[in-house]
Amino acid sequence: MNTYHHLFSPIKVGHTTIKNRVFMPPISTNLADKGYITDELIQHYEARAKGGVGLIVTEVTTVEPTYIYLPGDMSIHDDSFIPGWKKLTDAVHQYGAKILPQLFHPAYMAFPIPGTPRLIAPSNVGPSYAKEAPRPVTIEELKVIIRQFGEAALRVKQAGGDGVEIHAAHAHGLLGGFLTPLYNKRCDEYGGDINGRLKLTLEVVEEVRSVCGPDFIIDVRISGDEYSDGGLNLDDMIYVSKQLETHGADMLHVSGGTTIKRGSAIPAAGTKPGAHAHLSQEIKKHVNIPVATVGRITEPWIADELIANGKADICMIGRANLCDPDFANKAKCGKDDDIRPCIGCLRCLNGIMFGKRVACTVNPSFELENEDTLKPAEVKKKILVIGGGPAGMEAAFVAKRKGHHVILCEQSDALGGLMKLAAVPIAKQDLSRVIKYMARRLMQAGVEVRLNCKVEKAMLQGEFADYEVIASNGAVPSIIKAFTGFKQWATADDILAGNAFPGKNIVILGGGSVGCETADYLAPLVYDRYPRDRVITVLEMTKDIMAAESGPGRSLLVQRMLKKHVNLICEATVEKVEKDKIYYTKNGRTECIDDVDTLIFAVGYHSDPTLKLLLEECGMTYHMIGDANHTGTIKDAIHDGYETARSI
């Protein structure tokens, strides 16, 4: 049954009909080998084509050999790349999907591989993190680059590709940099007013059309608004969109923001669905070619509504298709509850800049053998999983899929473990969807789940004596005993669970993600000096808060705390706590915070060895997983549960 009629209706882009409006936008994978397509890369995109996506725009594909965007990205700068691309297009086409590489010149965003010459840019203006100013590219060099875009597109056509996407968004790379006034300070024909800044992109579009002909899709990715003072705005981009259509573009992929303004181009968890849809909606009114929107579109109903309500013709659904390759097929059949939920954490891209391959918090494996294709175990065993957090739920499901008899015992009255508390702070709601999804999957797989069931010694020696044990009893929050003499103290977990209620003036020890999320949760939504509002102070020993985190989620959390006037004090060491006073040192001086009502510990977690000692005492064969083995992230827990159960 097709529940989402708008999303799964065909659409014509140029001369090509696409079977539905679920398009996959570019997401870097680091699966290429020196620019060449690997078998892993083919399998990655083939899985999404098999899963029902109408069209795939691949990750960045460079058009010349000198400047590398990421070490594991793709290229098509000479004919030697064509055979790999032919294998990729054939793999995708067998499922009725279309495929476009995203053609890109990284320019001043290039990866600083040793031996790389000085980076080029529209002007000698580069991103804030650059180690040196780039040099302005010459007009003669631009003529060569334009030709290189056309030659790359022709190779795509020769390899069976359906078209290309030309990346001119996010003040990113050469074309995006030329278009934006943030980076283009030129006074020649390629600078100055908007027509000068747009000239390079239009010439690239015209070159690709001239070389590849009318039946080849040309999609251009733009920011409908850069959301930055001095940057491009919606009025600019309506004009740009009209010009792109006039000069041969078949489709516009309307994003927003820039790569430098964190959280603007790639929306973080908790941001509104269809984050850039207001831009595509307005641009759509002024052009006659299809317009796609992108940004935090993670559920089928959102995508269908955006199309039905005239916000866009097409939905670019990236992270959700990464998280669940069968997103489209499940949506088309109305199996929304079976879609693996994307939580928007962006851990998929966290390691990309460091050469790591793409990964996902909720989906532990993109390999050929994954949750859906597990090989049955040669020897079927009885498996007891102790603990129903993310690691335990994943391990129980995987063990059951491998053919083992599995019982999961959870001592509380609900599954989820610490993930239930992690879902409480602002912008973390999607974690509750993960718990529902994992619990539903256990039920469908036939795993016996026992709630309110604490595994005791007698049970291990009796009913479970011949079981292999996977222990995932999680971790417990750490406290500093010397500071528990304060008049009211609690852990962050106590607060998030509703087991403790803090007073008006609060000090939180620890500026990691838990401490900051708890501060954000407790602080007033609006800072207006209302007398009854809470006053929150976070004390962190290191140089900055959440030092282990990065990306849009961290950025928006910090911005919220600053707007709420949460007092963030770093490089502060708490020396002494009295009943109603807290003393800390900073820069060699001792400071005292008095008039504090509640002290909250957010100083990490530690594993409780009690269960491990019990398992050893009973002589059980056991595996410690997740936080019970080593405290970490939800991603660490789920992946640990998967790998452990897969190996049994």
**Residues 614-639: tens digit of each pLDDT:** 999 999 999 999 999 999 999 999 99
Q: What per-residue confidence (pLDDT) applies to 550?
A: 82
Q: What per-residue confidence (pLDDT) applies to 142?
A: 98
Query: Rounded to an integer, what distance in angstroms lies between the CA atom of residue 642 and that of residue 286?
Result: 49
Give CATH superfamily name and number for 476-603.
Answer: FAD/NAD(P)-binding domain (3.50.50.60)
- Mean pLDDT value across residues 117-133: 88
**Residues 470-490: tens digit of each pLDDT:** 999 999 999 999 999 999 999
> Comparing 9-352 with 476-603, is the CATH topology the same?
no
**Residues 383-403: tens digit of each pLDDT:** 999 999 999 999 999 999 999
In this structure, how many other beta carbons lie within 10 angstroms of the beta carbon of residue 410?
Answer: 25
The string of DSSP letters for 18-71 reads ES-SEEEPP-----SBTBBPPHHHHHHHHHHHHTT-SEEEEEEEESSSS--SST
pTM of the model: 0.95
> In the predicted model, is pLDDT for residue 447 greater than 90?
yes
Residue range 380-473+607-645, CATH number? 3.40.50.720
Looking up tokens 């001792």 gives 590
- Mean pLDDT value across residues 530-547: 96
Name the amino acid, one letter, at 397: F
Given a contact cutoff of 8 angstroms between Cβ atoms, the answer to whether 578 and 595 are in contact is no
Q: What per-residue confidence (pLDDT) applies to 1?
A: 59
Among the listed residues 448, 377, 441, 374, the one whose alpha carbon sits nearest the alpha carbon of residue 408: 448
Containing H/E element for 58?
strand 55-62
Q: What per-residue confidence (pLDDT) applies to 341?
A: 97
Residue range 9-352, CATH number? 3.20.20.70
Enumerate the domain spans of the chain.
9-352, 380-473+607-645, 476-603
- Mean pLDDT value across residues 215-219: 98
